[in-house]
Structure 1
Amino acid sequence: MNKIHTKRRLPPLGSLTAFEAAARHQSFSRAAEELHLTHGAISRAVAQIEERIGVALFVRRNRRVYLTAAGQRLLKTTTETLDALGNTVEEIHRHDIESPFLVVSCEPSLAMRWLMPRLGGFREKYPELNVDLRMAGGPIDLLYEGCDVAIRRSDFGIQEDYRISHLCTESAGPVCTQDYWTNTIQHNLNKANWLHSRTRPNAWDDWKTEAFNRTQIPDKTLPQSEQYFDHFFYSLQAAQNQLGIAIGSTPLVSDDLSHNRLIAPFGMTPTGCDYVLISLDGAIQDPRIEAFNQWLIKTMNKGE
């Protein structure tokens, strides 16, 4: 059988992706920004396709590009194909329920101070599952990062197509050691060294507003000194080491409070944020994710 007509002479996938972005935006510059490429790279990709198929895809006028009839036809097919590829990759990723590994992205402070000490308990209950823990915070593209789920504090927008499961409500308040509170500053916040985190720069201001509204502190409450740390868990460790008083939150300081390593002299009040589990699963559930989700909810809300 003569196979000369069955050979696929398709342009490279990268070129088609560049073409689709340029056609959608009607701009090579905006396509370059979206794909983190240069204007020249987009132009070369389009030229490669035009050379392969032998027709022009764009008409260039006044620094703008407009699709030709051939370009419109190719855009329709390219968009449908890229969407189909994306859907297939997502389905394969999120329904690989036979994998013994569950890839979990978790905010570093929560991972270090709450999740990692409890993963042994999860392993005992589900010995067939291995949690591959990756520390990261903020928005996440689960497919791009290769993660099954992400544990996040709900202080940013989450994509609509993600499934969101509520884990627990966050509460916060000043925390320090009993000795620092009683002997060093003698129950007086004005004598304290306030510990700040650059990842939660407004934590003290938010708590002061809430505490003043509840008449727990005077309006003029100010620190004697202040100290800044790059991450939230550093400020909490500094408080545990009696360097000052920090804003701590549950569940991050739950163990410290229950074991009297830290105290919360003003109690803990809701911050308006929740901890959530983000996943790709919709109607068809991955039993690995469901097991992890239910374990998280039970463990967090029992205070274990």
Structure 2
Amino acid sequence: MNYRNLTPSMSLLLAFEAAARHESYTRAAVELALTQSAVSRQVQALEQQLGVTLFRREGRTVKLTDVGRLYQREISEALGRVRSATLHAIAHQAGGGSLRLATLPTFGSKWLLPRLHEFYRSHPDVLVHINSRIEPVDFATSGIDAAIVVATSELPGLICHRLHAEELMLILSPTLAATRPSWSPKDISQQVLLSVANNANAWGEWFTHHGLAHQAMRLGPSFELTSHLIQAVRADIGIGLVPRILISDELASGELSSPALPFASARSYYLVYPPRNQALPALEAFRSWLLDKAGMELRG
């Protein structure tokens, strides 16, 4: 095999990617400031080099073939990484740029996003692109620069900054809370207990902490997102056990109620990233702001 055929020129790839995204040589030509015939020639040259048919011609229109659609997906991701790498190089020289940050969905919406305007106020030349992720981030393939995660310890192979320890709070709907003058751990154990899938052992740890038999647990539905569990508690489906920082607004407004039975989880929130990203200007700015903010609010 001629390995040069596996690395087509950038001009061919750009023409194909634009034509594939629009499924139109005409619209691709406008985007690339080329003629329609030039785009067509470049796509044909790419097909000849690869030995595959990427488009079907249907009258005056073109449609991706199955292999063309597969190639488009891979090439679009690869070109995105090339563009991102270029932006990072430019940003490193200019001291600004962008940061692709993965965060837990509810932490992002309940804590990070309401405060992010403060970061932009002091760093107007930096953009933070937020990606919601529950599953572990693969920094080698995802294009993510850094992530905010929850874990029981630092993650191997990554630089980890501990933001704060997770404190779990019981949450009840105001209607359920009003059925008793006070709530004991035994009272809680008799209710339907809601959980979040990525912290399935939380209720077991809570029962152990309060000396209750695990056999007494009445486990109810499990939710992928903490925000969905919160909504389920509001709807009187059961009782939740969630991080304090994610329900402060609801407790303050009276939308939720909580007995005075906080529980220190074994987990903590961390900002993590691979060592190769440590010197990215956007990450340096965001890391400094986040650690200061966490120090003042989360640990304070």
Q: TM-score range by the shorter chain?
A: 0.5 to 0.7
Match of 2:202 in 1: 203
Match of 2:269 in 1: 275
- The answer as to 2:114 corresponding to 1:117 is yes
1:115-159 deviation per Cα after TM superposition (whole angstroms, max 9, x unaligned): 222222322232222211011123222242111211111248734
2:249 aligns with one of 250, 255, 268: 255
2: CA distance between counterparts of 1:224 and 1:272? 22
SS at match of 1:140: coil
Gaps in structure 2 of 5+ consecutive residues: 8-81
1: CA distance between counterparts of 2:161 and 2:154? 14
Over the residues paired in the alignment, what is the CA RMSD in angstroms?
A: 3.5
Aligned residues: 217
Gaps in structure 1 of 5+ consecutive residues: 1-8, 15-87, 213-217
Match of 1:174 in 2: 170
Q: 1:223 to 1:158 in 2, by over 3 A?
A: closer
1:100 aligns with one of 76, 90, 97: 97
Could you say which structure has the higher helix fraction?
A: 2
Tell me how far 1:248 sits from its aligned partner.
Answer: 0.8
Tell me how far 1:184 sits from its aligned partner.
Answer: 6.5
1:49-101 deviation per Cα after TM superposition (whole angstroms, max 9, x unaligned): xxxxxxxxxxxxxxxxxxxxxxxxxxxxxxxxxxxxxxx99997876534532
- The answer as to 2:258 corresponding to 1:293 is no
SS at match of 1:145: coil
CA contact under 8 A between 1:94 and 1:280: conserved in structure 2?
Answer: no
**Amino-acid identity (%):** 20
CA contact under 8 A between 1:168 and 1:297: conserved in structure 2?
Answer: no
SS at match of 2:258: coil
- The answer as to 2:183 corresponding to 1:183 is no
Q: 1:223 to 1:150 in 2, by over 3 A?
A: same
SS at match of 1:104: strand
Structure-2-length-normalised TM-score: 0.60
- The answer as to 2:142 corresponding to 1:145 is yes
Structure-1-length-normalised TM-score: 0.59
2: CA distance between counterparts of 1:220 and 1:134? 37
- The answer as to 2:124 corresponding to 1:127 is yes
SS at match of 1:169: strand
Match of 2:159 in 1: 163
The amino acid that maps onto 2:292 is: K
Q: 1:93 to 1:150 in 2, by over 3 A?
A: farther
Q: 1:283 to 1:198 in 2, by over 3 A?
A: closer
1: CA distance between counterparts of 2:275 and 2:173? 42
The amino acid that maps onto 1:201 is: A
SS at match of 1:183: coil
2: CA distance between counterparts of 1:143 and 1:115? 25
